[in-house]
Structure 1
Amino acid sequence: MKNLIYYLIVLMFFTGCKSKSIEIKSDCGNILEVQYDKNGKHTLSEKEKSKNYLTIYFLDEFNDHIKININQKEVFNKGVVTDTTKFDTYSSVFTYKLSSEQNNYVIKGYSERTKTCFEVPINTKYRIIYLYYYNKKWIVRFSNELIDFQN
């Protein structure tokens, strides 16, 4: 009986959370955190989710030159400066068009300043990727929720 109660509590914990987070070791050798947001307050509409693109935002503690490859093709290569005193201030966001012929994507990022990188498969059921570099660790958040930058 105790085991049944324990499993029910664990199940409620996992199903009740707004997001799921796992730490993995990237092919680059770094430990990174991958997060998956469940539906939230400012969720993309089905019409927006059906469009064939990803939007990638850089947030929190970037003062760096960042390179991003998707499926070994360079899609971003420039300086990124984010203001850590105001959450809504970020300098870089870009959109990537998904191919109708391809189903699998891998995003790889590299930081010039910290000499760190990350590599993770893209879950295409999510249309937004938030990239963070926080506490010497990359955080990649897959989401269909727009952050409300006004609050």
Structure 2
Amino acid sequence: MKNTICCLLILCFLSGCKSFTKQDLQSSCGNTFEVQYIENGKYKLSKQERAKDYLTIYFLEEFNDQIKISINQKEVFNKKVITDTTKFDTYSAAFTYKISSTDTNYVIKGYSERNKTCFEVPINTKYRIIYLYYHNEKWIVRFSNGLIVN
């Protein structure tokens, strides 16, 4: 029994106790981008917060660019985003988007003016937070219900 518990603790330690899935996709701009789904995390949103009809989108890493974001072909963000590259996971810009409580089909598309790269991915509305990174010349779109605390 002790060996089983020790093995489980070691496995949990090695995996970080944080489960997520990721996949690489090809964009319509010709670049690849990564989509991640964080299943659990340390700073979870409460059930009440997840029930609200909005998404929060955060820009986190390696942006120094004019970024355009559209949801369902409607432009919802078009600003210069500059991140502090010395402080990883520091929010440089964020915005909220109101979603319908009845409609569950949303597609988010992002475009970088400077790098001429983009991504387009359906939004899984069970997640209320989307983190956007531009890391190693690749977009990373992370869906989560865990809030990163600065």
Normalising by the smaller structure, the TM-score range is: 0.7 to 0.9
Aligned pairs for 1:120-135 within 5 A: 120-135=121-136
TM-score (norm 1): 0.85
Q: CA RMSD in A?
A: 1.9
The 5 A counterparts of 1:54-133 are 54-133=55-134
State the secondary structure of the residue aligned to 2:48.
helix
Residue type at the aligned position of 1:127: R
1:36 aligns with 2:26: no
Contact 1:68–1:77 at 8 Å: present in 2 too? yes
Q: CA deviation at 1:25?
A: 1.1
**Residue number in structure 1 paired with 2:145:** 144
Superposed CA offset, 1:53-72 (max 9, x none): 00000011001000000000
Distance 2:57 2:25 in 1: 20
Runs of 4+ aligned residues of structure 1 deviating over 6 Å after TM superposition are none
1:4-53, Cα deviation, whole Å (9 max, x unpaired):
xxxxxxxxxx9x75211111112332211000001111100000000010
The one-letter amino acid of 1:140's match is V
- Read off the aligned partner of 1:137 and give its amino acid letter: K
1:88 to partner: Cα distance: 4.7
Are the counterparts in 2 of residues 25 and 31 from structure 1 also a CA contact under 8 Å? yes
Write the letter of the residue equivalent to 2:33: L
SS of equivalent residue, structure 2 residue 55: strand
Letter in 2 for 1:75: V
Q: How far apart are the structure 2 equivalents of 1:43 and 1:141?
A: 15
Render the CA deviation track for 1:100-146: whole Å, top value 9, x for unaligned.
34220000000011011110110100000000001110000000000
Is 1:81–1:90's contact at 8 Å kept on the other side of the alignment? no
Which structure 1 residue ranges, 5 or more long, are not aligned?
A: 1-13
Q: Is the 8 A contact 2:129 2:143 kept in 1?
A: yes
Contact 2:61 2:89 in 1 (8 A): no
Tell me if structure 2 keeps the 8 A contact 1:66–1:80.
yes
Q: Give the number of aligned pairs.
A: 137
